[in-house]
Structure 1
Amino acid sequence: MTKTVHFLTAAAAAAVLSACSAEPDTDRTDLETATTDGEAAALAGALEPGDFMDLQLGAKIVGPQGDEVTGTLANAEGNFADIRSFVACPAGMDVCDPKTAPKGTVYTYVHVVYPGEDNKEDTGSGDGNDSSDIEQATAFKMLRPAHGFTGAVGYSKAEAMAAIGPKADVVISCLDGALIWSVNPGTAGDQWEQAEPLTFYWQSTLPPAGPAPVYAIDANYTEAKGPGPYPEATAGYEAGCNAPSTAR
């Protein structure tokens, strides 16, 4: 999948700064300053990110695998990340059952992504991880439209700060109805790398139909995909993140 956000290299950034004879703005990350028409378009269309820590969630949906689904983001070269996902109802709902949930219930899809592995032998990649050490992960993304998307989306800002540093920036964009969380450390930041979990979320008015191989990570300059809870395409809800926001 083509990335919608392109990053400046350190050399390119230095050249721009030299040409302008200006001091770098240490309060802004690379993704907050567009230098091409493509970057400007991506930033203009970026979705406002929420903070996972601000969410108030109720009970989780319990499926055949329990209340959480674990898996691996992989390709022919090996395993590149573990992923642990769950879907929760709003706060106040002690049981989250789509069969009995009121019409209009908003479901929060949560994905915890561990580049490389989560050091647990019995989940995901675990001790059997056979990919290269993850030195740079640049995006978590969906490979199909986010059916029923409400417009509410975000990530754990505290985790991003801990993993990547104060210059970290995550730009959330939409491509063909699918969500993309592009991760950039900024010119002075660390990389999102091996065993640094980040939590991403999005909200939908549709419950999951089951795990589907529709999630992916861009890491070490390759794409690796795997399963996670995903809603079934439903008439009137197929547009994903291209649909008007209904977030409250």
Structure 2
Amino acid sequence: MTYRTACSTLLLIALAGCGSPEPEPTPTPTATVAAPRTLVGAELDFSTLGAKIEGPQGTEIETVLSAGNRTLGKMTSYVACPGGTDVCEPGTMPENTVYTYVHSITLAERDDDAEPQPADGPEAAEETPPTLFRTTAKARGFNAAIGYSRDQAEQALGDSDAITITFDAEQLIWRVTKGEGWKPGTTITFWWQSTIAPKGPESAYLLEVDGNQARATGPFPPEDKPVEGKPRK
């Protein structure tokens, strides 16, 4: 082997070593944001409900819905155990118990003395403020069972199918999408189910009517917070 041949061989070996592929970096996982999901609203059969949970304010919680100096209506809420339950005490119920959260909202009567607000711009008359009822926190333990009173929706909105329900960012939204508008003085009952019992009333609900928003207090599943000094299981 000549000197030139030996050098060429060594060079090829060196280049082969330098050309070995490096391991590809591990891809970093990215969080996927779940898109809003439309849910099918069912009629609630009240005969399937058992006793109501009794809290510091009794078995029902009533909240006045107000926006500024205007009263929009009132909300009466309660949580019931399954049918056949004579006393609803969450601490004594089985772990798989399903609790039904019920919220009845009655709009205030129209104030005929109130002057209508003027429209702003040529397109203002075509814009309709949203009418909706929703949770403002994650509906923990939600089991996908949800709905509203269709008979009441027929009376209040003129259409039993006027309400569309969505599950967005783990929050529940009942939105009026059809009908003639929510008539003052009428009531609509909304309901949903959770495998978690309420710990107490929370300001976790919101009603929006005619561009006015009112926060509401009612029973709600507690936030999952670890006890201080105690590790989470």
Q: What TM-score does the superposition give when structure 2 sets the normalisation length? A: 0.69
Q: Which has the larger radius of gyration?
A: 2
Distance 2:176 2:41 in 1: 13
The residue aligned with 1:161 is 154
Residue type of the alignment partner of 1:206: I
Deviation sequence 1:107-135 (CA, Å, 0-9, x none): 00000011126xxxxxxxxxxxxx999x9
The residue aligned with 1:57 is 49
Gaps of 5+ in 2: 1-34, 117-127, 226-233
- Counterpart of 1:70 (choices 62, 65, 81) is 62
Distance 1:137 1:82 in 2: 18
Contact 2:151–2:160 under 8 Å retained in 1: no
The residue aligned with 2:108 is 116
Matches within 5 A, 1:20-35: none
Q: CA deviation at 1:202?
A: 0.5
Matches within 5 A, 1:128-207: 138-166=131-159, 168-185=161-178, 189-207=179-197
Contact 1:217–1:225 under 8 Å retained in 2: yes
The residue aligned with 1:219 is 209
Distance 2:222 2:160 in 1: 37
Distance 1:197 1:136 in 2: 19
Contact 1:137–1:217 under 8 Å retained in 2: no
Q: CA deviation at 1:79?
A: 2.3
Q: What TM-score does the superposition give when structure 1 sets the normalisation length? A: 0.65
Residue 94 (1) aligns with residue 86 (2) = yes
Matches within 5 A, 1:228-243: 228-234=218-224
* Identical counterparts, % of pairs: 38
Gaps of 5+ in 1: 1-40, 118-130, 236-248
Structure 1 ranges of 4+ moved more than 4 A? none
How many residues of Structure 1 are paired with residues of Structure 2 in the alignment?
180
